[in-house]
């Protein structure tokens, strides 16, 4: 909860990947709040107020997962909305703002995105942004397992990472400008 809050403020892409990892972790704990408390809350040794806040946050997330029927796979709508916002920004930067730097990054990733889409069996209903995030998440899981990753895969993930990092930075810039306008 504390990490998610900070990541959401600082880097939306890292937040999305963190939340995907957390969804998988909660699934691994069978969405059981007693196990979540033992594994995810108590090891932080939080004070009582923070522990209650963390428990409520995890309880809310597991309830959303149940209600949205993503106990086995998929993502809660709130996180998917962030992916959709990044996708909208992606199209804005390419087609309305004509951001040359972003266009270069997308072009550099394009061949890898096509290849990954094919290997993953992903249809065209999945945006390039979500596809790149899926690739980065899969790469993260491989690294956590200390699995061998080919040079070609590392290079592909590097192009995804640069594209998503730029997109996340532009998202943060947009959020900061909106916050200033609301003050």
Q: What is the pLDDT of residues 59-72, one digit of tens each?
A: 999 999 999 999 99
Instruction: Of 119-128, 140-149, 154-163, 174-183, give the lowest mean pLDDT range.
Output: 174-183
Q: What letter does residue 126 receive in the DSSP assignment?
A: S
Among residues 49, 67, 85, which one ends one of the domains?
A: 67
Residues 137 and 85 in one domain: yes
How many folded domains does the chain comprise? 2
The pLDDT of residue 1: 63
Q: What is the pLDDT of residues 77-98, one digit of tens each?
A: 999 999 999 999 999 999 999 9
Does this model's pTM top 0.85?
Answer: yes
Confidence of residue 2 (pLDDT cuts 50, 70, 90): low
Q: Is residue 72 assigned to a domain?
A: no
CA distances to 33, 46, 59, 147, 160 from 111, rounded to whole Å, are: 43, 46, 41, 24, 11
Share the mean pLDDT of the chain: 94
């Amino acid at each position: 909860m504390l990490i998610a809050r900070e990541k959401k403020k600082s880097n939306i892409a890292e937040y999305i990947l963190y939340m995907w990892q957390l969804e998988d972790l909660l699934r691994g704990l069978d969405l059981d709040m007693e196990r979540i408390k033992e594994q995810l809350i108590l090891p932080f040794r939080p004070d009582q107020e923070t522990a209650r806040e963390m428990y409520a946050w995890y309880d809310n997330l597991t309830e959303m997962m149940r209600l949205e029927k993503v106990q086995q796979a998929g993502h809660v709508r709130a996180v998917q909305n962030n992916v959709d916002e990044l996708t909208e920004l992606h199209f804005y930067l390419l087609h309305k703002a004509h951001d040359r730097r972003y266009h270069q990054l997308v072009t550099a990733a394009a061949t890898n995105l096509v290849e990954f889409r094919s290997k993953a069996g992903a249809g065209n209903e999945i945006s390039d942004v979500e596809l790149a995030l899926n690739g980065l998440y899969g790469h993260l899981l491989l690294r956590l397992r200390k699995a061998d990753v080919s040079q070609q895969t590392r290079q592909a993930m590097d192009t995804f990472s640069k594209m998503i990092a730029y997109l996340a930075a532009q998202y943060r810039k947009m959020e900061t400008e909106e916050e200033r306008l609301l003050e």
